[in-house]
Amino acid sequence: MDIKNKKIPEAEFEQLRKEVLLQWPTGKDVNLEEAIAYHKSLPEHKDFAKKLIKAKNENRTLIEPRAGVPDIDEHIKLLKYLEKEGEADLLPTTIDSYTRQNRYTEAENGINESIRLDRAMLNGFPAVNHGVAGCRKIIDSLDVPVQVRHGTPDARLLTEITYAGGFTSYEGGGISYNLPYCKNVPMEKTIRDWQYVDRLTGLYEEMGISINREPYGPLTGTLVPPFVSHAAAIIEALLAAEQGVKNITVGYGQCGNLIQDIAAIRTLEELTDEYLQKYGYNDVIVTTVLHQWMGGFPADEAKAFGVISLGSTIAALAKATKVIVKTPHEAVGIPTMAANAAGLRCTKQVVNMLSDQQFQNNELEVEKDIIRKETRCIVDKCFELGEGDIAVGVCRGVEAGVLDVPFAPCRANAGLMLPARDHNGAVRVLNMGNLPFGQELKDFHKEKIEERARAEKRDVSFQMVIDDVYAIGKGRLVGRPR
């Protein structure tokens, strides 16, 4: 499949839409003009993009949980509870795994089983099966904006239905929902399918409805260095902007070292703006989101609140526009309503206590400069490989191991670059793989990891990576030798 980073022509897009809307019976209820009129009827306080812009202008960090259950009324009850008892500023609708794999028949069975057994038999909300009317029931019942959160490689029908259903923010992208979520789906396919998502977003924008798009920041959520997730986020932002998206939230998964995480969020917004301006997209509003710790969680709830509090601290000090909140049930599975609300209140408390404080020091500036150099090296190399076309360039970049996501299941991912923590817990590169770094950056990483080896009185080795992967389960950040 040949792809290019060009806005999909109208006639071609209309033809594609006809095919997509036939993928499940509920697609027939999607009518673009009627959907636009529905969005225009919504009050401003239900507009996700506007609420993010306000928070950005006021330098505030909004809190948002993950949440999704199969039954519409139960889902509304859950989201109302999280808004009221959890003090959520923004609400999600987390989509179930069958829908994420376009397995709508199984999702339908899951809905019926949930009714028969009177308990959730899906791990999220099956929005395609519930259709436009089902989605609108949610939007009409709540008083804060609602975002679709998922992990869908081919999300075209899900987008059509949830946009028409009144959702005003949508997570995902052709890189971030491929490399961490797929095994055999070619990058070209997901890039193309997400150009559809972003073209539809651009169409709503051109008709007066600004829907926020959020590339999925954490990727595999395991020792992902900031420059890797930044490069993916920036490239997805560029691909979205080409299709007409004007409101983008770029994301990052907390890695654990305070300085590196704050530097990551601060540089993420700056670098995304830099590349959007550099390639002529001057009217895109960029916000940021920090995902609280995406790695293994302690089962002990008090310790879990400790992890949640640290993630809240990072988000607040970094002045992230938004933070995605974890719960004290993370170690066991999908949280109860009460646990989800408790994670939100814990986060709200920390964010409020830090909202009047600034974090600034020289170490932070050094880390920001490293991330800038690393990220530009990856993104610029992808442009070079694509001979100026970043859609082609990111596919070639993944294939060449230039954009290399640690522990990604996707066969296209080179998996040659190996990360490990340094003596302070910052994520560094132990094995460069095919990263196109210059000698200065290579020496920086080598020295940081050798510093840890000396402190731990052991050689630099792959064992450090293994120890780091298991460290959190043992209540540590750095995987120290026994």
Ligand X SMILES: CCC[C@H]1O[C@@H](n2cnc3c(N)ncnc32)[C@H](O)[C@@H]1O
Active site residues: 100, 171
Q: Give the residue with the Cβ less far from ligand X, 299 or 455.
A: 299
For residues 360 and 45, what is the distance between their CA atoms, to the nearest angstrom?
33
**Rounded to 10 degrees, what is the CA torsion of 260, 418, 415, 468?**
-80
Residue given tokens 């206590």 in the structure block: 353
- SS3 at position 242: helix
Q: Give the residue with the Cβ less far from ligand X, 326 or 368.
A: 326
Q: Give the residue with the Cβ less far from ligand X, 56 or 66.
A: 66
Q: Give the residue with the Cβ less far from ligand X, 171 or 205.
A: 171
Point out which residues pair with 431 in neighbouring strands.
418
Q: Give the residue with the Cβ less far from ligand X, 64 or 467.
A: 64
* AA letter at 45: H
Residue 478: CB minimum distance to ligand X, A: 23
Pair 252, 322: CB distance under 8 Å: no
Half-sphere exposure (Cβ direction) of 69: Cα atoms closer than 13 Å: 20
Q: Which residues bind ligand X (CB under 6 A)?
A: 66-68, 94, 123-124, 326, 330, 334-335
**Rounded to 10 degrees, what is the CA torsion of 267, 469, 454, 414?**
-70
Helix axes 72-84, 337-354, angle to 10 degrees: 30
Residue 287: CB minimum distance to ligand X, A: 19
Residue 10 CB-density burial (10 A; 0-12 exposed, 13-18 middle, 19+ buried): exposed
Pair 106, 99: CB distance under 8 Å: no
Q: Give the residue with the Cβ less far from ligand X, 185 or 392.
A: 185
Strand stretches in 241-384, DSSP E:
247-253, 285-291, 322-324
Q: Give the residue with the Cβ less far from ligand X, 124 or 328.
A: 124
Residue 69: CB minimum distance to ligand X, A: 7
For the stretch 428-431, contacts whose Cβ atoms lie closer than 8 Å and that sit 24 or more positions apart, written own/partner, are 428/225, 429/225, 430/460, 430/462, 430/464, 430/465
Residue 419 CB-density burial (10 A; 0-12 exposed, 13-18 middle, 19+ buried): buried
Residue 95: CB minimum distance to ligand X, A: 8
List b or e across 438-477, with b for residues whose CB sees 16 or more CB atoms inside 10 angstroms.
Answer: eeebeebbbebbeebbeebeeebeeebbebbbebbeeeeb
Task: Output the CA–CA distances (angstroms, integers) from residue 265 to 117, 147, 212, 289, 352, in the order listed.
Answer: 44, 21, 18, 8, 19
Q: Give the residue with the Cβ less far from ligand X, 79 or 238.
A: 79
Residue 124: CB minimum distance to ligand X, A: 4
> Strand 427-431 and strand 418-421: pairing?
antiparallel
Residue 4: CB minimum distance to ligand X, A: 30
Residue 329: CB minimum distance to ligand X, A: 8
Point out which residues pair with 287 in neighbouring strands.
249
CA angle in degrees (0–180, nearest 5) for 401-407-410: 65
Q: What is the CA radius of gyration of the chain?
A: 21
Pair 460, 293: CB distance under 8 Å: no
Q: Give the residue with the Cβ less far from ligand X, 94 or 260.
A: 94
